[in-house]
Chains A and B, each alone.
Chain A
């Protein structure tokens, strides 16, 4: 090979590598733009959801106070069964804490997250159908998953508002003894629970997209998850099948971890163990939720019953 040929080859290689570089760069830029576009889409949908919620300010007050009122019969029931001090040996053995009130208050606070994942994000597409805007959203050049992420984001903000309001009210009755680290860890766990429940919302929205009439299905899922979640009692007391449902859901892990942080001061190792499980469940829920939603979407389009009421 002559020197001229070598130079030519080298220059061709340089040009090729430059071309490759610019191709990769444009690919990265396109991907980044897509991500930015997805985030913008989700944020716009979330903003729309929030605007609708804020149009009914009484709803915000009502749904902040109502779950607290639901607690009153449980408190009276407890007092009737174990005395006005609400101290139970069996409960202490099962949960590691004597404070029944704090236990059920934490459960009630976090139930808002699961409840809004079922009623809010899970039913989001059905609400759009009710208000006659589903077809417009479906025709928009955006990913339907982003649509769902936006709806879930809206539900999350809604439940955060509720939790904050309820926490402020419950603080009158309970003196929370928590450190800065507890609060930080609690926030991380809540975020992980919410992320996992997004996957559940996608799957649930897909099922509703197929079956249309969501009332009964939503009520059923809501009731079953309420029974199987450790809101008023620990998972230990549930029958075997209910325990399985409980431990499959990120909500039960999150609630158990938060109670361990705020009430029984469990070790960091056990906390990290629960966080690890939560991350694993989140991944499974996202993948499962994504595929179920896509499947439902395809089936609905194929059968042409998207517009069917």
Chain B
């Protein structure tokens, strides 16, 4: 009897997880259908990753008169400014744009008048956010592959296949990181409604303390301290180092720190979103525009 009950419980649990995953897929599919209604939108995100890389690359080349920098070599161990800058930008764009798009998923539902319907459906809030993130990640994934393709062409023969896989592992873990950060920002958007200013400001501050196109050593000391507390730092440094210098114990250490911080941020995100939701339900302002 006990066994049957435990079995049933287990089955219920696994069917719930499958149900949540199916719901996330349904949300992502719905967003894909909307995107297909605007083919220009889809096309733009195929070209955009290249457009986003160019200003920093041209600016760097203008200062250097080419691709290689002695100063960068002293600071980081590599003189290839193009690959160094591009790898940082690729990781940062994937996280930042997915985050932005996911955080505004709820607001988008409000605009289209489907928020309440979605909200009363029997799915977890985490699934709701994850469904949005899934679509954004899939969409941006195409651009990411184009960007990585260009970088691999530049750096061909200077890294192994294993290093590339390890670098992609950093991107995989960053999905958990995005989910945690998106939960926090979604809660904020739910509260502030038109809170894009604050979201942009937070994103900008994170970007400044993240070594995207420059090493940590370039920042002023107080920013360096903040940078070490920023999970994005470990993501970008690990991702870039794996491709540029190969995998060593430091890479695995960075991956470990990224995993721990991502899980921590995910727990904080779920809690923060739940608290915000409770507060707004009490106030009765969830449905307000």
Which residues of the other chain, A, contact B81 by a CB distance below 8 angstroms?
81
Interface set, chain B 168-193, CB cutoff 8 A to A? none
How distant is the Cα of A78 from the Cα of B71 in the complex, in angstroms?
A: 10
Closest B residue to A100 by beta carbon equals B63
The answer to whether the Cβ of A70 comes within 8 Å of any Cβ in the partner chain is: yes
Interface set, chain B 33-92, CB cutoff 8 A to A? 38, 40-41, 44, 47-48, 51-52, 54-56, 58-65, 69, 71-72, 75, 81, 85
The answer to whether the Cβ of A262 comes within 8 Å of any Cβ in the partner chain is: no
Interface residues of B, count at CB 8 A: 37
Tell me the smallest distance from the CB of A294 to a CB of chain B, in Å: 24
The answer to whether the Cβ of B213 comes within 8 Å of any Cβ in the partner chain is: yes
Taking a contact as CB atoms under 8 Å apart, the answer to whether B40 and A217 are in contact is: yes
Interface secondary structure of B, over-half rule: helix
Which residues of the other chain, A, contact B72 by a CB distance below 8 angstroms?
80-81
Closest A residue to B69 by beta carbon equals A81
Closest B residue to A219 by beta carbon equals B44
Taking a contact as CB atoms under 8 Å apart, the answer to whether B58 and A88 are in contact is: no
Taking a contact as CB atoms under 8 Å apart, the answer to whether B64 and A77 are in contact is: no
Q: A90-B62, A91-B63 given as contacts; is B197 within 8 A of A77 (CB)?
A: no
Taking a contact as CB atoms under 8 Å apart, the answer to whether B64 and A223 are in contact is: no
Taking a contact as CB atoms under 8 Å apart, the answer to whether A232 and B59 are in contact is: yes
Which residues of the other chain, B, contact A100 by a CB distance below 8 angstroms?
63
Q: A73-B212, A227-B54 given as contacts; is B218 within 8 A of A213 (CB)?
A: no
Taking a contact as CB atoms under 8 Å apart, the answer to whether A223 and B69 are in contact is: no
Closest A residue to B51 by beta carbon equals A223
Q: A69-B208, A216-B41 given as contacts; is B59 within 8 A of A90 (CB)?
A: no
Taking a contact as CB atoms under 8 Å apart, the answer to whether B219 and A81 are in contact is: no
Taking a contact as CB atoms under 8 Å apart, the answer to whether A233 and B62 are in contact is: yes
Taking a contact as CB atoms under 8 Å apart, the answer to whether B63 and A72 are in contact is: no
Which residues of the other chain, B, contact A90 by a CB distance below 8 angstroms?
62-65
The answer to whether the Cβ of A74 comes within 8 Å of any Cβ in the partner chain is: yes
- List 8 contacting pairs A-B, 8 Å CB cutoff, sorted by A: A59-B197, A80-B71, A80-B72, A81-B60, A82-B64, A213-B38, A227-B55, A237-B58
Query: Residues on B close to A: CB < 8 A?
Result: 38, 40-41, 44, 47-48, 51-52, 54-56, 58-65, 69, 71-72, 75, 81, 85, 197, 200-201, 204, 207-208, 212-215, 218-219
